[in-house]
Structures are given as structure tokens and as C-alpha cells.
Amino acid sequence: MTTFNVRITAARTRNEGELSDILTKVEWVLSGEQDGTTFELPGKTTMGPVDPQDFTPYSQLTPQQVIDWVNAIEDTETGQFPGLRGHIDMVVSRMAAEAALAEKPLPWAPTPQAPQQEQSQF
């Protein structure tokens, strides 16, 4: 089973009326991990309109708060996360399966010869 994680990598802000540093766009990385194998995809989320009555100043935002907002937008039927999770899960599963395979020399390939030592004439 693949475990998913969202990590915020950047944020963009704007000023509007009396409000400044309104969080407008969030850049993130969605990663999936399965049996020690990880695959990541980056993305961006444009935040919705700001509610002046429920505004959190940029300097007071926490990583979890922003992740929760991104999840609320992207973890929906029309959001990016369902499709990205499916893709990440497929890639991680294939990578984990490939890592579990042992590489063997081809049975028809010539056997490498050990280097011969030169014999001294002395």
C-alpha cells in the first residue's frame, strides 16, 4: 500500500484592499512511498477568494494549515490529487517490483575471463 504525503515548497501572495500578503498560489510536492521506494510529482494550487472575516495573516500560517487548504481543493473529484495518486501508486508499485527482482547474467553470454598474470622470465 502506498502512503502519500504533501510538502509545501513555495507560496505566492498578493495585496487586496486593506489586506496584504494574501496567500494566492501554493507550490507543493505530492509523494508516494511503498516499501522504501518513493516517487514525487510537483504541482500548484490557486487558492480561492479570501474571506476578510476569516483571514489569517501570511506570517501566522502553519504548514499544516496550508496543506489542509490544498487538500480541501485538490483532494476532490475535480482536483488534481486523485489522478496524481493513481499515477504515483502505479509508478511506485512498478519500481518496488523491479527492485525485488534479481539480475542474472544471460546464460548464453560469454563468461568473463580472469586477467592472466604475466610470468616473469627471471
Q: Domain map of the chain by residue range?
A: 3-99
**Count of residues for the chain?**
122
Cβ–Cβ contacts within 10 Å for residue 113, how many?
6
Q: In 44-77, which positions are buried (b, 16+ CB within 10 angstroms) versus exposed (e)? A: ebebeebeeeeeeeeeeeeeeebbebbeebbeee
Report CA-CA distances (Å) from 60 to 37, 44, 66: 35, 21, 11
In this predicted model, what pLDDT tens digit does every residue of 88-110 receive, in sequence order? 999 999 998 888 899 898 999 88
Per-residue model confidence (pLDDT) at position 114: 73
Per-residue model confidence (pLDDT) at position 89: 94
pTM score of the predicted model:
0.78
Whether the predicted pLDDT of 41 surpasses 80: yes
In this predicted model, what pLDDT tens digit does every residue of 52-66 receive, in sequence order? 899 999 999 999 999
Torsion angle defined by CA atoms of residues 63, 64, 65 and 66, in that order, rounded to the nearest 10 degrees: 50
Ramachandran region, residue 17 (left: φ > 0; alpha: ψ -120 to 50; beta: rest)? left
Task: Note the Cα 6 to chain centre separation in Å.
Answer: 7
Residues contacting residue 49 through CB under 8 Å, at least 6 positions apart:
none
